[in-house]
């Protein structure tokens, strides 16, 4: 059973954490956000570490850059249901996989599939996936197609999204780490973490 997630939370990763009951849908203390993200990352292949301080810093500014907004987040925590229209909202200058109401957009998924290629995993099986070069091409193309309605910071923000997701959700392939398309779709469309990570999380 997954929990409902506010349409005003546009982050596919945080949406999955809320849906799985790892974070509340509303307000979460910065320490809890940082700890939870770290715990989920450690459940990934190779137990990657993200650095709690970096996650905390993002959560501090995510609802507004002004001193009063930052003071409020420092005291109350991150408002996960108020990320839309905050400083990290790229207003469509991204993958477009989720629309403004956080609905999954099949046409954008089909476009994203075009950046992927076959990846061989340790047991010799092959699956479609995205490595860092392919993700970089996708991010560049996302920025490119938004000419005229993008901020310069939007391209930099992407580096804190897709490459970080590659670290957390990535699988080790014969030629390096990659995001499995099947797992990525499950995350973005169904707000589910890969079964291998869920199993490690429930084992503590």
Interacting residues with ligand HEM (CB under 6 A): 10-14, 33, 37, 55, 58-59, 62, 78, 83, 88-90, 94-95, 97, 142, 161-162, 164-165, 168
Least Å distance, CB 121 to ligand HEM, is: 20
- Cβ atoms of 95 and 107 within 8 Å: the answer is no
Nearer to ligand HEM, 128 or 167 (CB): 167
- Please, which residue, 19 or 88, has the CB nearer to ligand HEM? 88
Shorter beta-carbon distance to ligand HEM: residue 24 or 120:
24
Q: How far apart are CA 116 and CA 142, in angstroms?
A: 15
Q: In sequence order, which ranges of the chain are alpha helices (DSSP H)?
A: 12-19, 30-42, 52-61, 67-76, 106-113, 132-145, 152-158, 162-169, 181-190, 195-202
Q: Read off the tokens for 55.
A: 């996650």
Residue whose CB is nearest to ligand HEM in the complex, by number: 94
Of the two residues 33 and 116, which places its CB atom closer to ligand HEM in the complex? 33
Q: How far is the CB of 74 from ligand HEM (least distance, A)?
A: 13
Shortest distance in whole angstroms from residue 147 CB to ligand HEM: 16
CB 124 → ligand HEM: shortest distance, Å?
Answer: 28
Tokens of 180: 């499995």
Query: CA-based angle 85:15:160, to the nearest 5?
Result: 65
């Amino acid at each position: 059973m997954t929990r409902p997630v506010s349409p005003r939370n546009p982050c596919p990763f945080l949406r999955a954490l809320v849906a799985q009951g790892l974070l509340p849908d509303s307000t979460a203390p910065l320490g809890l956000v940082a700890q939870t993200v770290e715990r989920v990352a450690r459940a990934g292949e190779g137990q990657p570490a993200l650095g709690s301080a970096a996650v905390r810093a993002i959560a501090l500014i995510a609802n507004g850059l002004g001193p009063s907004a930052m003071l409020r987040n420092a005291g109350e925590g991150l408002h996960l249901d108020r990320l839309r229209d905050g400083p990290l909202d790229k207003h469509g200058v991204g993958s477009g996989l989720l629309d403004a109401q956080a609905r999954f957009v099949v046409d954008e998924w089909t476009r994203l599939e075009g950046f992927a290629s076959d990846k061989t995993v340790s047991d010799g099986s092959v699956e479609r996936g995205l490595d860092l070069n392919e993700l970089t091409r996708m991010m560049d193309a996302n920025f490119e197609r938004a000419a005229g309605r993008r901020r310069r910071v939007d391209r930099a923000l992407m580096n804190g999204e897709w490459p970080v997701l590659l670290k957390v959700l990535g699988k080790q392939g014969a030629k390096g780490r990659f995001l499995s398309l099947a797992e990525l779709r499950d995350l973005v469309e169904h707000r589910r973490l890969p079964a291998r990570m869920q199993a490690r999380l429930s084992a503590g």
